[in-house]
A and B are shown apart, each in its own frame.
Chain A
């Protein structure tokens, strides 16, 4: 026992005391800021309910309160937990952001979906339980839009085939590969709204549009692209495909380029023709990439709206309507927020069930194959 080690012990114990005090302060900060934030929300709710008057002009104070709460929470984390707190800080901003801007609105949406809220009516929202859901099941136009979505999603198969063909072309021994790739990628850059005009309104115009002229020259007497339900559907699908085929093509091309060189050489030596080699060797090896590409594409396809809104507004007779464009009009034309939200929520449930089923199906397939 020397004096040196004794003073050392003293220093560590003093440091430990400081640390535990800091921890306590950190914990206090977390609990205190949370309590303050809850009080703020309570005050706003009370004012909104007309019980008390605090002079809030709108709900913005809650937003500012949320941000402040987040900052104090972060500081509290660091003080209370040290390095672990610093680490938590990496996901805290994104987590709080998504919680406030996706999770909260989705749950708020559930409440809105159970009201008869119409923004243009003078009466406020009134709770009406599952009335909207019952109405939904009788809404012919909504089911029509859902039916159209099935067709649009099935069309992904065609898009996939074309994209795979293009990826194979780009993977062949060609000159100026990069130039071709850039050219093929351009449609992906373009905004669906601009495409709606460029292709839907201008090139498919029945009198002057180049595609209409071309159709006339090959013998189609009076080409109209948005009068017949099936032709209209296919025209919309063609535009959407034009924009998104490059996306799948790029994924598939990356998959092809990642294939080991020996694989295709082995196919050639065995005397397999290109076609056989493709189906027996390349295609099975490309399955994982293909599934990723198809699922991502379906997810984006289920959001299809812009082109339909701008070119046909769902016409003729709802033949091209998507769920999103239908709900968009439900709000734009009728300000029907409550019912529209119920339609959207029901759609979300369908999407989650569908995508989960799809993922499970593919996962099982892949396991059986390997």
Chain B
């Protein structure tokens, strides 16, 4: 009797221990996989950043860890005119870089602002009122806006080339801004409509009772409440515009060229200067990595808008 009891509790113990080990290995497995993917995600960024501080022989050796494998230098940044000793001097490369950088900033910020403005208005209208335009009702109008998403850039690219030539908008920041506004508009409408649909309609009714018109309600009540959604839409639009290459490469040549076009034009040339390219690439992705780290919450909010319903 005691013997069987003992064996049973021993068996229990063994089973419990087995479960423990399984759990332990499960944990190790999970963290191992997480670590592996984190390396896959971050190594290219790390590699680019460190390569911008390597000299030729470090690149050829394939050195990886700074201070151990190689001694960091400012070589890459020096050729961009952005290293500590060259920052005070005149540098044509830096001027070029800064021009492209500010072109990118100007185009992506203004396109995103414009898209959020007209996109939010449209989304609010579609969320609250019923429209009828020709044969189209609300559902069709929503589809009209969202369907622009499947339009590949290449369909618009050549017509725009011809159109912009006639409008004298080629190689022009305004022309590029308008085009970028168009490409991000469906996403903004999508996010904002989702956001407005979550705000109770009673609020609008209460505002109407208080004598606010539809525009007063929108600006005084709805906009402050939907600010997180607007920020999410703005940031997502900003990322897409900042990274856009296809239109910029086709429609700009000297004046309005953006940063991605500059990066791409450098890679094409023979005998790439690795450290200089790495510095340029780092500068091009830097702002977005910072945004990704600090505004991750909004990016996720924007990405998941409308796709997950309870």
Among candidates B62, B148, B179, B289, residue contacting A186 with C-beta atoms closer than 8 Å = B289
Any A CB within 8 A of the CB of B246: yes
Any A CB within 8 A of the CB of B4: no
Number of A-B contacts (CB under 8 A): 286
Complex CA gap A166/B144 in Å reads 34
Any A CB within 8 A of the CB of B227: no
Interface residues in A255-302 (C-beta closer than 8 Å to B): 255, 258, 289, 292-293, 296, 299, 302
* A305-B246 in contact given A90-B124, A196-B264 (Cβ < 8 Å): yes
Q: Once the chains bind, are B158 and A331 in contact (CB under 8 Å)?
A: yes
B151, B155, B277, B293: most-surrounded residue (chain A CB, <10 A)? B155
- Contact string against B for A residues 24-44, beta-carbon threshold 8 Å, 1 for contact and 0 otherwise: 000000000000000000000
Q: Once the chains bind, are B288 and A251 in contact (CB under 8 Å)?
A: no
* CB-nearest residue of chain A to B129: A87
Q: Once the chains bind, are A183 and B42 in contact (CB under 8 Å)?
A: yes
* CB-nearest residue of chain A to B304: A254
Q: Once the chains bind, are B245 and A192 in contact (CB under 8 Å)?
A: yes
Instruction: Quote the shortest CB–CB distance from B232 to chain A (angstroms).
Output: 12
* CB-nearest residue of chain A to B138: A91
Q: Once the chains bind, are A98 and B308 in contact (CB under 8 Å)?
A: no
Q: Once the chains bind, are A184 and B41 in contact (CB under 8 Å)?
A: yes
Instruction: Quote the shortest CB–CB distance from A294 to chain B (angstroms).
Output: 11
Instruction: Quote the shortest CB–CB distance from B209 to chain A (angstroms).
Output: 15
* A299-B150 in contact given A86-B213, A94-B145, A183-B41 (Cβ < 8 Å): yes
Any B CB within 8 A of the CB of A59: yes
Interface residues in B257-293 (C-beta closer than 8 Å to A): 259-261, 263-264, 267, 272, 274, 277-278, 281, 284-285, 288-289, 291-293
Chain B residues, Cβ within 8 Å of A302:
150, 152
Q: Once the chains bind, are B264 and A310 in contact (CB under 8 Å)?
A: yes
Q: Once the chains bind, are B246 and A242 in contact (CB under 8 Å)?
A: no
Chain B residues, Cβ within 8 Å of A58:
166-168
- Contact string against B for A residues 232-249, beta-carbon threshold 8 Å, 1 for contact and 0 otherwise: 000000000010001100
A63, A94, A108, A255: most-surrounded residue (chain B CB, <10 A)? A94
Instruction: Quote the shortest CB–CB distance from B262 to chain A (angstroms).
Output: 9
Among candidates A90, A328, A345, residue contacting B125 with C-beta atoms closer than 8 Å = A90
Complex CA gap A95/B123 in Å reads 11
Chain A residues, Cβ within 8 Å of B308:
251, 254-255, 258, 289
Chain B residues, Cβ within 8 Å of A189:
239, 285, 288-289, 291-292
Q: Once the chains bind, are B162 and A247 in contact (CB under 8 Å)?
A: no
Chain B residues, Cβ within 8 Å of A309:
245-246, 249, 264
Any A CB within 8 A of the CB of B185: yes
Any A CB within 8 A of the CB of B189: yes
Complex CA gap A112/B145 in Å reads 24
15 CB < 8 A contacts A-B: A58-B168, A83-B214, A86-B214, A101-B178, A102-B148, A105-B159, A166-B37, A190-B45, A191-B288, A198-B44, A254-B308, A258-B308, A258-B309, A306-B260, A324-B246
Starting from the known contacts A188-B299, A254-B308, 12 additional A-B residue pairs (CB-CB under 8 Å) come to A91-B125, A94-B189, A95-B133, A105-B160, A189-B292, A190-B45, A191-B260, A198-B45, A210-B64, A258-B308, A332-B250, A341-B159
